[in-house]
């Protein structure tokens, strides 16, 4: 049974039609003890069937590694990974990440903020904790991914909190979206890209 209905497939196909190059989705799954692995695999197979520009690679990993995880690789300079199944409100954010990775650029970042992101010289790790029902989470995820799009020193990880409770507990996630930068600066809520950049700069001080 398909996860995407025909109307959704049509919308996804139209949305991804403006991709500017190929994007690889590298999916890590486990055979055992992975509630959502098969659903994520099916979802990504359905997405990749809608456009020639999305290539799916499936890897089976051991029990010690996180799964399911999706690494997005196109023209993005840094690392973009989604942990869990991109469902609910996060589905649109995930598709946006794919399309922007095909371009290596972000439509939501203005010129000054873009320059600031591109001049980051040190390593930055951004974790964003989300849930499918959270209406503000996609904006936080898309903004965080934009940093990895534009700078090779940035690693962005978006976690579906309920699927990764150990990580959520470790970072004391009580509300979403929650953003953690270099395990040093953390905040809740979605903020504009220029304010997000200030948080990143603060984490590098």
Q: Is the pLDDT of residue 176 over 70?
A: yes
Per-residue confidence at 32, pLDDT binned at 50, 70, 90? confident
State the pTM of this model.
0.96
Model pLDDT, residue 40 = 97
How many alpha carbons lie under 13 Å from residue 21 in its C-beta half-sphere? 13
Per-residue confidence at 31, pLDDT binned at 50, 70, 90? confident
Cα-Cα-Cα-Cα dihedral sign, residues 57, 91, 8, 150 = negative
Model pLDDT, residue 33 = 83
Work out the average pLDDT over 62-84: 96
Q: Is the pLDDT of residue 115 over 70?
A: yes
CA distance 107 to 18: 13
Q: Is the pLDDT of residue 185 over 80?
A: yes
Q: Is the pLDDT of residue 2 over 80?
A: no
CA distance 131 to 149: 22
Q: In the β-sheet with 154-160, what is the strand arrangement from edge to edge?
A: 54-60, 23-29, 69-73, 79-83, 154-160, 124-130, 178-181, 185-188
Model pLDDT, residue 1 = 60
pLDDT in tens, 149-170: 999 999 999 999 999 999 999 9
Measured at the CA of 88, the angle between CA 57 and CA 92, to 5 degrees, comes to 65
CATH architecture of 6-203: 3-Layer(aba) Sandwich (3.40)
Q: Read off the tokens for 28.
A: 């890590």
pLDDT in tens, 118-153: 999 999 999 999 999 999 999 999 999 999 999 999
């Amino acid at each position: 049974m398909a996860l995407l209905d025909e109307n959704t497939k049509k919308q996804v196909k139209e949305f991804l039609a403006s991709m500017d190059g190929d994007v690889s989705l590298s999916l890590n799954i486990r055979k055992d003890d992975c509630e959502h692995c098969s659903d994520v695999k099916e979802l990504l197979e359905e997405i990749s069937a809608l456009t020639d520009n999305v290539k799916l690679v499936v890897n089976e990993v051991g029990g010690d590694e996180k799964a399911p995880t999706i690494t997005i690789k196109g023209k993005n300079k840094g690392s973009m990974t989604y942990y869990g199944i991109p469902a609910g409100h996060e589905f649109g954010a995930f598709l946006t990440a794919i399309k922007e990775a095909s371009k290596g650029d972000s439509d939501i970042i203005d010129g000054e903020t873009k320059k600031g992101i591109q001049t980051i010289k040190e390593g930055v790790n951004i974790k964003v904790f989300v849930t499918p029902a959270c209406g503000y989470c996609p904006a936080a995820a898309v903004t965080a991914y934009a940093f990895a799009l534009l700078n090779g020193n940035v690693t962005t990880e978006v976690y579906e909190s309920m699927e990764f409770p150990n990580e959520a507990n470790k970072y004391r996630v009580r509300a979403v979206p929650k953003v953690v930068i270099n395990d040093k600066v953390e905040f809740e809520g979605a903020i504009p890209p220029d304010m997000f950049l200030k948080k990143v700069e603060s984490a590098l001080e």
